[in-house]
Amino acid sequence: MRLITTLLLFSLLSLTTYAYFSNELKLNNIFKSATVKISINDKQNKLFDETVLNLSPGVKQSKPLTIKNLGTVEVYYKFYLDHVNGELDDVILFNIYFEDSLVYSVHPSMFNENNALVSKNPLKVGESHTYTIEVECMDVTDETYQSKNLKFDIVAIAVQAKNNPDILFE
pLDDT tens digits, 18-53: 555 556 777 777 877 889 999 998 877 677 766 555
- Give the pLDDT of residue 66: 95
Residue 153 lies in a domain: yes
Secondary structure letter of residue 43 according to DSSP: G
Instruction: Using the predicted structure, report yes or no on whether residue 70 has a pLDDT greater than 80.
Output: yes
For residues 108, 110, 114, 118, the Cα torsion angle rounded to the nearest 10 degrees is: -60
Secondary structure letter of residue 95 according to DSSP: E
pTM: 0.77
Instruction: Using the predicted structure, report yes or no on whether residue 130 has a pLDDT greater than 80.
Output: yes
Spatial contact of 39 and 118, defined as CB atoms under 8 Å apart:
no
Residue 15 lies in a domain: no
More confident residue, 139 or 8: 139
More confident residue, 170 or 79: 79
Residue 12 lies in a domain: no
Residue 109 lies in a domain: yes
Residue 7 lies in a domain: no
Average pLDDT over residues 108-126: 95
What's phi and psi for 132, nearest 5 deg? Answer: -110, 120
Residue 114 lies in a domain: yes
Residue type, 42: D
| Mean predicted lDDT score pLDDT of the chain | 84
Give the whole-number percent of the chain exceeding pLDDT 70.
81
Q: Domain of 132: which CATH number?
A: 2.60.40
CA 126 to chain centre: 12
Residue 25 lies in a domain: no
Residue 138: band (very low, low, confident or very high) from pLDDT cuts 50, 70, 90:
confident
CA-CA distance, 69 to 99, in Å (whole number)? 18
Spatial contact of 47 and 132, defined as CB atoms under 8 Å apart:
no
CA-CA distance, 33 to 165, in Å (whole number)? 20
> Whose CA is closest to 109, among 122, 94, 97, 98?
94
- Give the pLDDT of residue 60: 87
Residue 23 lies in a domain: no
Q: What is the pLDDT of residues 80-103, one digit of tens each?
A: 999 999 888 888 899 999 999 999
Spatial contact of 155 and 79, defined as CB atoms under 8 Å apart:
yes
Instruction: Using the predicted structure, report yes or no on whether residue 2 has a pLDDT greater than 80.
Output: no
Residue 82, domain extent: 38-160
- Give the pLDDT of residue 9: 56
- Give the pLDDT of residue 117: 95
Total domains present in the chain = 1
> Whose CA is closest to 73, among 27, 117, 11, 122?
122
